Every structure is written in C-alpha cells, then in structure tokens.
Amino acid sequence: MRITGGSAKGQIIKSPQSVAVRPTTDKVREAVFSILGAVASNWDSGLDLYAGSGALGIEALSREVGWVDFVDQSSKCCLVIKQNLIKTGFIDKAHVYCCPVMKAIGFLERSYDMVFVDPPYADNSLSTLIPVLSRSNFISRDSVILVSHASRNILDQQYGSLSKIKEKRYGDTCISIYQKEVAS
C-alpha cells in the first residue's frame, strides 16, 4: 500500500496481517481525496475511525491536514499505525487511541473537519454508529463524514442531522459522504 498524494506521496506503508482488516485501495483513496477536495472547506483536523493501517488518516496528513486522531481497538493495528506515522514523518501530528470506536466517541472533544468511518465489511454497526456521530460534539456544521462500506450495504439518506450529499461506488466498495443539515 502506498500514499497516493501530498508530501508523502509514493511512500509504502504497512498493513496489519488480519482477515478483519480491509485496507482501502490506492485507487479508492485517490478518489476519496478528489471528492473531499470538492466538498470539504476546512482541512485542519481529521478523525480516522476503524483506522486499521491508518492509510486514510495518513493520506490526509500527507495532503496537509494539520492533525489526525486515529481510533482502532486492535493493539496490532495501533502498533502498525504508529509505525506508519513514524515512517511518513507525521507522528507529531497525530494521536492513536487504542480502544473501541463507540468508547472513543464518548470522550473525544476536538472538533473534526473530516471523519473517516471505514469498518470491516462484516461489521454491522453503521446504522447504529452514524446516528451517534450525528449527535456527537465533535461534528460541526462544516464537518464532512466519509463512510466506506460494502456496496451491497445500502445506507440511509439521513441519519439524525446528517444528510448524504454524495455516493460513489468502486467495485464492492461504496463511499457515502454526509454533512450536517444547515438550518434554514
């Protein structure tokens, strides 16, 4: 796996050896950041949930996002993320939380401009998780929530205050982008 853009472009990063980890392909990550360039107004901070290798968050750091918090419950994944951050030179612009995503949502306080949600395809928690995200303190009106999921798993147009603004399919992977509704 390699970083596809920005200051760390071309650097190869590790991926945890686990059947539960499904790294986002280089092609999909390139497409994700192309989409984000069109819809995200701020690039100051990011949150990478179900981080796995940390590829999405590291890609964000490479493209000049100022800070990224990574969350994964696997200690093996957390170790790989830290190694990848050191290798790419972004260790001082990130924090790795080794805990379940729902626990992290309960204590994270920073406001995030972009949130990456990329659970394993076998994880069925998205319909529960996205409404919780919509009520969290770290999602602002300008935040962009990017959800990567199996294309066979159709997500709702609306979860609480979050509305789907874009959806793209790449083979078995679907990217759904949500933002908070703006009150009229």
CATH at residue 36: 3.40.50.150
How many domains is the chain built from?
Answer: 1
CA dihedral 175→181→182→184, nearest 10 degrees, is 140
Looking up tokens 């924090």, which residue turns up? 95
pTM of the model: 0.92
Do 56 and 29 touch, CB atoms closer than 8 A? yes
Do 145 and 132 touch, CB atoms closer than 8 A? no
Structure-block tokens of residue 173: 């992977």
Q: Treating both helix axes as pointing N-terminal to C-terminal, what angle do 55-62 and 26-39 enclose, rounded to 10 degrees?
A: 50
Domain of 153, in residue numbers: 6-180
Query: What are the pLDDT digits (tens) for 7-26?
Result: 999 999 998 876 466 667 77
Query: H or E stretch including 87?
Result: helix 75-88
Query: H or E stretch including 177?
Result: strand 173-180
pLDDT of res. 184: 43
Positive or negative, the CA dihedral 135, 138, 142, 147 is: negative
- Cα atoms found within 13 Å of the Cα of residue 106, Cβ hemisphere only: 5
In the predicted model, residues of the chain with pLDDT beneath 70 are 18-23, 182-184
Q: Does any domain span residue 60?
A: yes
Calculate the alpha carbon distances from 114 to 9, 53, 56, 83 in Å.
20, 18, 11, 23
What's the whole-number average pLDDT of the chain?
90
Percent of the chain with pLDDT over 90: 65
Do 129 and 50 touch, CB atoms closer than 8 A? no
pLDDT of res. 23: 67
**Interatomic CA distance for residues 177 and 108, integer angstroms:** 21
**Interatomic CA distance for residues 137 and 58, integer angstroms:** 24
Looking up tokens 């999909």, which residue turns up? 28
Q: Does any domain span residue 19?
A: yes
Q: Does any domain span residue 1?
A: no
